[in-house]
Structure 1
Amino acid sequence: MLSVLTNLGSNKYAGILFLLLASQSYGQIAPTPATERLKGMQNRSIQAQNSALNEVEFRNIGPAIMSGRVVDIDVNPEDPTEFYVAYATGGLWHTTNNGQSFTPVFDKEMVIGIGDIAVNWRSPKKTIWLGTGEVNSSRSTYAGIGMYKSEDNGRNWEYLGLPESHHIGEVTLHPGDPLVAWVAVMGHLYSPNKERGIYKTVDGGKTWQHTLAIDDNTGAIDLQVNPANPRELYAAMWYRTRRAWNFEESGKTSGIYKSTDGGETWQLTSGPGSGFTSGEGVGRIGLAVFPQNPQIVYAVVDNQAPLPDTARKSDSTYTLNDFKALDKAGFEALDTARLSKFLRANRFPGKYTAATVKEMVRTDKVKPTAIYDYLFVDDGFQNKSVTGCEVYRSDDAGKTWKRTNTKQIPIYYSYGYYFGKIYVSPQNADKVFILGVNAQVSTDGGKTFTTIDKGNVHSDHHSLWINPKRDSHIINGNDGGCNISYDNGENWFKANTPSVGQFYAIAVDNAKPYNVYGGLQDNGVWFGPSDFKENIDWTDNGEYAYKRLGGGDGMQVQVDSRDNKTVYSGSQFGFYTRTNLAAKERKFIQPKHELGEYPLRFNWQTPIWLSRHNQDILYYGSNKFHRSLMKGEEMQTLSSDLTNGARTGDVPFGTITTISESPLKFGLLYIGTDDGNLQVSSDGGYNWTALGKPAKKNPGLPQGLYVSRVVASEWKEGRVYVTLNGYRNDHFNAYVFVSEDYGKTWKQLGSELPMESVNVIREDPKSESILYIGTDGGLYASIDGGGKFMPFTKGIPASVPVHDIAIQKRENEIVVGTHGRGIYIGKLDKVQALKK
C-alpha cells in the first residue's frame, strides 16, 4: 500500500482545499484527488488498529429477506453450487452450497462497493479479480479506488491500482494467460476525468496500459472477449454526465469498438453506415459474444433518441401544451366543458372548477398560463418519449449490425442508465436475455421478447449467469438480491441469506423490545424488533420478524412514541403515509401547491420530522417548509422557497434535505438544502434567517455543498451541528461543524477524518462531549466534542457506508443504518466509560 501511495505523487491540494471551497460556487467544487482519498484510507486503517473503540461490539439485526442490489455474479462452470455474488455496496460473498449460505470475503479493504468481478476458475487458486465502484449511476452509486486481486478466496487481497477509475464496468480475463486482463473503466460519476476507457495488463495487474480513451466524459461500460481468439475484443463506450440537477445519459461518442490485436488498438465498429444506431441518442450499451460461433455478436442499447409526438388533438379535451402560451383573451375563449374535463383528468383540487379558474384569470389572481405552470413537472422520473431499449445483432464479427427487435421493448423507460446488460446462451445463438426493469428472453434471435419476471423474483436486473451445460439454469442479480431458476425463469427461489440491505434512513420507538424502522433502496420501508437475530426458523411458521410498511424506494420514518403504533413513512420524492399499525389505517400525506404556483420540488430523500414537544405536529420539507398540527391531516405551507431556486435539469434540485427542531425549545427549527442553504427559524417556521454565509469576520461554512444533516443539540439551546456532503461533485472531503450561537458562527470538527462524505451526526445521550458520525466509509465516535474521531471496528465492516444513526436512550444503544449491510446495534456503555 505504501508503495502505491508513493507512486501516486505528492499532495498538492493539502491545506488549501477548504479555503478554496469556501469561496467557490457550486459548479466549481473540485473533485477530491485519488492521492488524498488513498492517504485518508491508509490513515483510517492505522486509526482502526489503535482505536479506543475496539472493544465496542456490534450485532447485526438483519434484515436479510429483502436483500440489496447485486451488480455481478461469477459461477464455477464445473460446479454451479459454488459462486460469488458482488453487491453494489455490500461487498463480495461466496457460497459452496448453491446459495443456502454465504461468507463475506471482501470486508477488510479500503472500500466495500463493487463494480464487477471476474474469477479464473481454471487456476488452482481460483484467482478473483475485483473492480471497485458500481457503474449503474444511481443516486447511491459509490466511487471505488481501482482494482484488487485475491489468490486465496478473499483471505488476502492485493491492491492493483487504477485509483481514479471510480467506477468499473467490466473485468475481462484472458482465457489462456492468467497474467493478462482487461478492465473497462467508466470513470467519475459527477465530474469529467481523463482516466476513462480500456486498460490492459500483461503482468497480473502490476502495471496497466491505457489502450482506449475517447474524452473526459466517455467511459467504458462493457468489454467482451472472443473466447476462441482472445486477440479479438469488443468494448462499449458510453458518453454520460451527471450533475446534482441533471443527468445526460447519451451522446454521439457512445459506440462499440473492436480490437483484433489483444486490446492494443481499437477501431469504431458501430459508426454511420454500420447499421447500428448513432448520434446524440446513443446511451448505455451492453455486449455479448456467442462462444460457439464468435462471428455472432449481440448488443443492447439505451436509445435516447426522441420519438415523434403522437399525441392527437381531441375535440373533447385539451392537452397540457394548449395552456402554455395563452393570454387572457385566449384563456377566456377556452371551451368550458373541455376545460372541466381536463381539470378532472389531471386531478385538480375540487375548488378549481372551469368557472372558478376562468374567474381567477379574469381578475388577475393568476396568470393565463397558470394551468400549465401548475402541472409543469421535471422530476427526472416522468417517462420521456424516447426509443428506449433496442437489440442489435452482428453476424460478421461486428462489421455490420442489424436491429433485431420488431417492436418496442418496454424495460428501460427513461432511465436505461441503470441497466444495460445482454447475454446469449452458450448453446443456442438465438436464445438471448436482456436486463432492465424486467428481465426478458428471446428464442428467435432477438426478434421478440417475453418477460421472465415471475413470482419470487425482484425487478431492476443487473447481472445474469447462464449455465454453459444447461441453459435453462440461470442465476440473476437484481435490486432484491440473488435469484435462481432452473426452468428459464418460470420458477425462482431467492438466495438471500446475507444481510445486505441498503438503508437510507432509520428510526426507533420505545416499545419493549423496541422496534427499528427503516427505508431501503428499492425495497420499501420495513420494521422489526431490535433483539432480532437472523435465522431460517421463520420459514416453519411463515412469520418473518420484520414487516413491510410500504414499497418503492423507502425513505425517512418517524414514530409517535406515545403509542409506538403511529408511523410516518414513505418513498422517493416525498410520497408519505401515516399508518396506524394496530388499526391498519393509512393516510396519504403530501403538501400541495396552489394554482398560480409551480409544483413543489421534492428531494429523493424528502425530510420529515415529528416535534418532540407535541407529536401531533409534523414538519415536512419540499423546497418550502410545511407543517401539520393534526398528524398530517392538513399541511400548511409556512415559508417561501428556502433554496436558491430551481435549476434547469431532469433531476429535482433546490430542495430541503434535512429538518431539525431543538429538543430544548419548541419552534426553534433548522433546515438544510441540497444547494447549500442552511436556515433557522425561531418562531415555528414562519420566518427564516440564512446561516453560514461567509462574512469579513466570519469564514462561515463551505458554500454550495449538500447539507446532509442539521441537528439541534439536546444539551445546549444555542448549539447546533451540521454535516456537509460533496458526493454529488466527487468531492469526498469530510465536513462536520458545530455552532454555539444558533448558527451565527461555526467551528469545524474532525479535522483528521479521512476523505469520506459525511451523512449523519448524533449526540450521545449521557455525555455532551461524545459524538457519533456516519460517513460513506464507516462509523466513528469522538469523546472530546469532535476534536478527534475514532472508527468502530468490532462486528461492523470497516468501510460500509453509514447513512443514518438512531439512539435508543432507554436501552443506551446506538442503532446504525448502513447502505449495504443492514442494521447494526451496539451498547454505548463502553464508549461512555472512556470519559470517566
Structure 2
Amino acid sequence: MKKIAFLISALTFSVSWGQNGTTTTTPTLFQELTLQNVGPTVMSGRVVDVAVNPENPIEFYVAYASGGLWYSNTNGLRMEPVMDTAPTLNCGSVFVDWKSGMILVGTGEINSSRSSYAGIGLLQSFDKGKTWKNIGLTDSHHISKILVNPKNSQEIVVGVAGHLFTKNKERGVFKTTDGGKSWQQVLFVNDETGVIDMAVAENNFDVMYASAWQKDRKAHNFNGNGKASGIYKSIDAGSTWQLISTPESGFPSDEFVGRIGLSAFTSDSIYAVMDNQKMRPSAKKEKDPNDEDPEVIGAEVFKSSNGGKTWVKTNTSFIDDFYSSYGYYFGDITVDPKNQERIYITGVPLLFSDNGGKTFQAIDGDNVHSDHHVVWINPNNPNHLVNGNDGGLNITYDNGKSWQLCNSIPVGQFYAVNVDEQEPYNIYGGLQDNGVWVGASNYSASIGWQQEGKYPYARLMGGDGMQIQIDKRNPNIVFTGYQYGSYYRINRADESKSKFIAPKAKKGDKPYRYNWQSPILLSSHNQDILYLGSNFLHRSMNQGDTWTAISPDLTQGGKQGNVAFGTLTTISESPFEFGVLYTGSDDGLVQFSNNGGASWKVISTTLPQNLWVSRVVASAHKKERVYVTLNGYRNDDFTSYVYVSEDAGQTWKSVANNLPASPVNVILEDSVLDSVLYVGTDNGLYISVDGGASWQDFSNGMPPVAVHDLVIQKKAKDLIVGTHGRSVYKVSLKQVQELKKEVLDKTLYVYEIKNTTKSERWGSKRGAWGDEFIPKNELWFYSNSVGNVSVKLENPSKEIVYTTTVAAQKGLNKVVYDLSIDKAAADKWMAKDKKLKITPAKNGKYYLPVAKYTWTLSKDKEKATTPFEILAPK
C-alpha cells in the first residue's frame, strides 16, 4: 500500500511566472488603446470541462482549454467570461459548489496536446469569477480533477497530472482540510506519472478512485503509456491510497497502459476506459515520419462491481475509428447516475452504450464537432446531455438525436492569421481542428448574422488550419492547408481550379519531414514565387505547380521518435533583395542565404541552443537587421527569448529585457516606425517603442491569452492579433505610428482629428423605440507625464465654445466629445453672428454648426493645437 502523507504548504512551490503573465513591464503608454474582438465565433473552441447545476441545469460553467471559464444561466443562449481577471485562461478542470457559490478551477489543460498550456495552480472564487485567489499547487502545471466533500467544502482532493514536458514532484493526489491553506501530497507514484482522473460515488466521499498516467512528452516523441499507469483506491476520503489495478485484478498492468478515465456508479461499481497502446496484430512495421496514427488497440472499457478487486473488459471487439493513436487526447467515461448500463465515452466520435459497454453507437450527429472531451448527464433526465468538444459546447435532450450548439462566443484557437488588400480588407486564419476561415475585418462578434442567414466568415477548408498566404494581385488565390505540410492553392472564384501543391520526396528518397505547422511564404518580390519548408526549403516559381529544393537539410537532422522533428518552423525573405533568405527550425537552427539558396550558413551558434525557433523576421527597415524569437514551451522553459542582429546574424543582442517570463511565439516590426516592435507570448501582447530596450503591455481589452500570430494591414493601419483561445483581435495603430522619439520627448502632442459631417439626425431617436443618435468624435493626445490638461475648442471667431480639463496619464489619452455645446455658448455665438442659427435637437442639446474650429490643449505652459471642421452635408 502506498501511504504518502507529508505536509505541503500552499506556498511551498515557487510560481513560474511565465505561466500566469505577471508582468515586470514598464507602465504602459497605451491604456486608452483598446483591442477589439472581431470573432469569429461560429466554430467555437476546445472545451475541457463543464460544471452544471443539477437543480437548475440551464445554469452552468464551461471551461475552455485556453479560453478561460464562461458562465451561462440561459442554457448557453448567452455566455459571459468570468475568468478574465485571473492571471491565466488555461483550464484543466472546474468544480462548483452550488450551495456556497464556491468555484474552483484547476488550471492547465490536461489533454497533453501540442498546445496544452500550463497553469498556475488551483484558483478559487466566491463571487462568480469577479475575483480569484490562488490557493496552492502552483507548480502542478496541469490539474485534472477536483473533488470536494459535499458536507465540508474545506475538504478538497485534487488530481494533478504534473508537468507536460519535464519531470516534477508536484503531481499525484493532493488533499487539504483547511480550504487550501495547507496541502498534503497523499499519492505520489513517480516524477513522470501524474493523476489524470478521479471518481467518487455521490453518496460516499470516503471511497474514491484515481487513475495514474505515466507519460513522457518531448518535441520529437510522445510516449503516452507505461507500467506506472494504473488505478488507485482510497477508503478514507483520499488520505491514503492503494494500487488496485494489479495483474491479479484483471486490469492491464503492462507497459502499454495509457490514459485512464474513471466514472463511479456506486462505491463498488466503477467503470474505466483505458487507452491501450499495444500494437494490433495487423499493424504495419514501417512508419512514415509524418504519420502519427499507428494501428494500436486503442480504447478498452472495463468494469468492476466489487470496488476494484476484479475488473472485466466489457467490449469483446476493437472499438474502431475512435482513439487511433490519440487516446491521450480524450479519455473520459461517464455513467448514468440512475442506470449503470448507460455509459458514454469520449473520442472521435462520442459513443453511447445501453448495455454496460458491450456494444456502442455514435450519437454525435449534425452540428457537433467530432473530437469529444467531456459529458454531463442530467440526473433527472438521462436523455439530457451537456457535451464539451473541440467545437465548443453542445446540448441534447433526446440522447444525441438532435443537438443545440452554443457557439456565440469568440474562443477560437488560432495558429496563424493574415490579411488581404481589399477595402474593407479580409482577415484569414487557421485554427486548431477547426479549419481555415476568412471574414470581413469590420465584423464584430455578435449573433445578428442569424437574421441575415449568412455568417460573415466563410470556411476555406477543414482539419487543423495552418498558415495562409494571399496573392496581392488576385485575392481569390489563397495558399493554405492543414497539418504536416498539406498545402493547397485555392481558387475562391473557381473551386475546380484549386490544387494540392505540397512537394513530395522522389521515389526511393527519404520522405520530407514536415512540421505540424509547416511554414509557407509568398515572395514580396514576385507573387508567383512561393516558399514552403519541410526539413528543406522548397521554392516554386509558378505558385506551387512545380518545386525545387533550394537547400540541404536545414535542421540538425531529426531525432528518432513518433513525432516529426527536425523540421522548419519559420521562413523570412528580405524585402530589400530577392534571394536573401532566413529559416528557423524546431531543433534550434537559424540559417541564412544571400544567394537564393545556393549556399547556407548557420547563424545561431551564439544563441541559446536546441530551442524551437518560433520566428525569424528580416527587417523591412534595415537590410542587415533580422529578428529571432526562440520558444522553450516544449521544454517547460518559460523564459522570453527575443534577439536582434544588425549584421545579418553574425552577432546577436537580446532585446527581451523586461518582458515577463513567457514563451514568445511571434515578433513583428511596425510597418512605419522601426523603433516600434510587437511581441506575442503565451500570456499576451507587448509593445516596445524603443527597439526592444523596454516593453509595455499592449493587451487592453484582451485577457491574458496566448498570442500565436500578428500581422499589420498597412493601408488600414490595423494590427491583427491571432490568439490561441479567444479568436482574433484588432487594434488601430494610427496613434502608435506617430510616436517618434521627438514626439515621445514632447510635453504635449495632439493628433489630427477627423472632420465630421453635420447630420439632422444628431440627438434624434431611431423610431419611437430606438436609441438616440449621438455623434462622437475622438481627440487623441500624448502627454509625457501625469497631470491636468486643459482642453478648449474655439470657433472661427476664436471664442471658446467648449472646455474641459482632463486628468492625463503618461502616454496616449483620449477625449470623447459628443459635439454639443451649452445654451449659453450657443446664445453668445448667435448674438455675434446674426445669420447663425443653433437650435436645440430633439434631445434638447445644442450641436456644433457647420464651421472650422481649433482644438487647443495646454499643460505646464506648453500648448498644442489641431484644426477640426464640421462639414456641410452633401
CA separation in 1, counterparts of 2:219 and 2:652? 26
Pairing of 1:264-303 with structure 2 (within 5 A) = 264-290=239-265, 293-303=266-276
CA separation in 2, counterparts of 1:6 and 1:546? 46
Structure 1 position 385 matched with structure 2 position 298: no
Structure 1 position 822 matched with structure 2 position 727: yes
**Aligned counterpart, 2:190:** 215
**Aligned counterpart, 2:534:** 622
**Aligned counterpart, 2:655:** 749
CA separation in 2, counterparts of 1:708 and 1:724? 5
Match of 1:806 among 711, 718, 740: 711
With over 3 angstroms needed to count, the CA separation of the structure-2 counterparts of 1:99 and 1:7, relative to structure 1, is: closer
* Residue 830 of structure 1: how far off its partner (Å): 2.6
Match of 1:791 among 697, 715, 718: 697
**Aligned counterpart, 2:608:** 702
The residue type paired with residue 310 of structure 2 is T
* Residue 569 of structure 1: how far off its partner (Å): 0.5
Kindly provide the CA deviation profile for residues 631-652 of structure 1, in whole angstroms up to 9, marking residues without a partner as x: 1111111111111002100000
Q: Which has the higher strand share?
A: 2
**Aligned counterpart, 1:111:** 88
Kindly provide the CA deviation profile for residues 336-393 of structure 1, in whole angstroms up to 9, marking residues without a partner as x: xxxxxxxxxxxxxxxxxxxxxxxxxxxxxxxxxxxx8xxx5132523x2321100001
**Aligned counterpart, 2:433:** 522
The residue type paired with residue 269 of structure 2 is I
CA separation in 1, counterparts of 2:17 and 2:685? 20
CA separation in 2, counterparts of 1:5 and 1:724? 34
**Aligned counterpart, 1:168:** 143
Whether the aligned pair in 2 keeps the contact of 1:238 and 1:283 (CA below 8 Å) is yes
TM-score, structure 2 normalization: 0.82
Match of 2:493 among 563, 572, 582: 582
Structure 1 position 717 matched with structure 2 position 623: yes
The residue type paired with residue 451 of structure 1 is A
The residue type paired with residue 811 of structure 1 is A
Whether the aligned pair in 2 keeps the contact of 1:591 and 1:637 (CA below 8 Å) is no
CA separation in 2, counterparts of 1:761 and 1:310? 43
- The DSSP-based 3-state class of the residue aligned with 1:208 is strand
**Aligned counterpart, 1:159:** 134
**Aligned counterpart, 1:409:** 319
Kindly provide the CA deviation profile for residues 605-654 of structure 1, in whole angstroms up to 9, marking residues without a partner as x: 00000001100000010000100000111111111111100210000000
Kindly provide the CA deviation profile for residues 321-343 of structure 1, in whole angstroms up to 9, marking residues without a partner as x: 7xxxxxxxxxxxxxxxxxxxxxx
Structure 1 position 780 matched with structure 2 position 757: no
Match of 2:442 among 514, 531, 537: 531
**Aligned counterpart, 2:277:** 304
The residue type paired with residue 297 of structure 2 is T
Whether the aligned pair in 1 keeps the contact of 2:207 and 2:267 (CA below 8 Å) is no
The residue type paired with residue 658 of structure 1 is T
Structure 1 position 56 matched with structure 2 position 37: no
Kindly indicate whether structure 1 or structure 2 has the higher relative contact order, using CA contacts under 8 Å at least 6 residues apart. 1
The residue type paired with residue 230 of structure 1 is F
CA separation in 2, counterparts of 1:608 and 1:437? 30
Whether the aligned pair in 2 keeps the contact of 1:287 and 1:297 (CA below 8 Å) is yes
Kindly provide the CA deviation profile for residues 766-786 of structure 1, in whole angstroms up to 9, marking residues without a partner as x: 110000010001000000000
The residue type paired with residue 202 of structure 2 is P
Whether the aligned pair in 2 keeps the contact of 1:56 and 1:831 (CA below 8 Å) is no
**Aligned counterpart, 1:92:** 69
CA separation in 2, counterparts of 1:602 and 1:41? 31
CA separation in 1, counterparts of 2:312 and 2:546? 57
The residue type paired with residue 624 of structure 1 is F
Whether the aligned pair in 1 keeps the contact of 2:374 and 2:388 (CA below 8 Å) is yes
CA separation in 1, counterparts of 2:160 and 2:477? 47
Pairing of 1:657-676 with structure 2 (within 5 A) = 657-676=569-588
**Aligned counterpart, 2:518:** 606
**Aligned counterpart, 2:845:** none
* Residue 751 of structure 1: how far off its partner (Å): 1.4
CA separation in 2, counterparts of 1:95 and 1:310? 46
Whether the aligned pair in 1 keeps the contact of 2:85 and 2:130 (CA below 8 Å) is no
**Aligned counterpart, 1:326:** none
Pairing of 1:301-700 with structure 2 (within 5 A) = 301-309=274-282, 377-382=288-293, 384-410=294-320, 411-584=322-495, 585-693=497-605, 700=606
In terms of Rg, which structure is larger? 2
Kindly provide the CA deviation profile for residues 712-745 of structure 1, in whole angstroms up to 9, marking residues without a partner as x: 0000000000000011100110000000101110
With over 3 angstroms needed to count, the CA separation of the structure-2 counterparts of 1:288 and 1:831, relative to structure 1, is: same
Whether the aligned pair in 2 keeps the contact of 1:256 and 1:269 (CA below 8 Å) is yes
* Residue 533 of structure 1: how far off its partner (Å): 1.4
CA separation in 2, counterparts of 1:294 and 1:730? 38
CA separation in 2, counterparts of 1:204 and 1:42? 24
- The DSSP-based 3-state class of the residue aligned with 1:554 is coil
* Residue 583 of structure 1: how far off its partner (Å): 2.1
CA separation in 1, counterparts of 2:81 and 2:164? 27
CA separation in 2, counterparts of 1:234 and 1:380? 35
**Aligned counterpart, 2:23:** 43
TM-score, structure 1 normalization: 0.86
CA separation in 2, counterparts of 1:232 and 1:130? 23
Whether the aligned pair in 2 keeps the contact of 1:5 and 1:35 (CA below 8 Å) is no
CA separation in 2, counterparts of 1:830 and 1:557? 28
* Residue 469 of structure 1: how far off its partner (Å): 0.3
Whether the aligned pair in 2 keeps the contact of 1:762 and 1:773 (CA below 8 Å) is yes
CA separation in 2, counterparts of 1:381 and 1:490? 32
The residue type paired with residue 304 of structure 2 is S
CA separation in 1, counterparts of 2:23 and 2:211? 37
CA separation in 2, counterparts of 1:41 and 1:513? 34
Q: Which has the higher helix share?
A: 1
**Aligned counterpart, 1:23:** none
**Aligned counterpart, 1:258:** 233
Kindly provide the CA deviation profile for residues 54-103 of structure 1, in whole angstroms up to 9, marking residues without a partner as x: 11111111000000000001111111111111000000000011101111
- The DSSP-based 3-state class of the residue aligned with 1:232 is strand
* Residue 36 of structure 1: how far off its partner (Å): 5.2
CA separation in 2, counterparts of 1:41 and 1:723? 18
* Residue 207 of structure 1: how far off its partner (Å): 1.2
Whether the aligned pair in 2 keeps the contact of 1:612 and 1:663 (CA below 8 Å) is yes
**Aligned counterpart, 1:760:** 666
The residue type paired with residue 760 of structure 1 is V
The residue type paired with residue 721 of structure 2 is V
- The DSSP-based 3-state class of the residue aligned with 2:145 is strand
CA separation in 2, counterparts of 1:541 and 1:583? 25
Whether the aligned pair in 1 keeps the contact of 2:16 and 2:120 (CA below 8 Å) is no
**Aligned counterpart, 1:148:** 123
CA separation in 1, counterparts of 2:16 and 2:467? 35
CA separation in 1, counterparts of 2:394 and 2:328? 22
Kindly provide the CA deviation profile for residues 561-607 of structure 1, in whole angstroms up to 9, marking residues without a partner as x: 11222100000000001111122331111111123311000000000
Residue identity (%): 51
CA separation in 2, counterparts of 1:213 and 1:627? 52
CA separation in 2, counterparts of 1:729 and 1:157? 28
Whether the aligned pair in 1 keeps the contact of 2:684 and 2:699 (CA below 8 Å) is no
* Residue 686 of structure 1: how far off its partner (Å): 2.5
**Aligned counterpart, 1:34:** 15
- The DSSP-based 3-state class of the residue aligned with 1:417 is helix
The residue type paired with residue 813 of structure 1 is D
* Residue 8 of structure 1: how far off its partner (Å): 4.7
CA separation in 2, counterparts of 1:299 and 1:455? 28
- The DSSP-based 3-state class of the residue aligned with 1:273 is helix
Whether the aligned pair in 1 keeps the contact of 2:10 and 2:183 (CA below 8 Å) is no
CA separation in 1, counterparts of 2:701 and 2:281? 56
CA separation in 1, counterparts of 2:10 and 2:376? 39
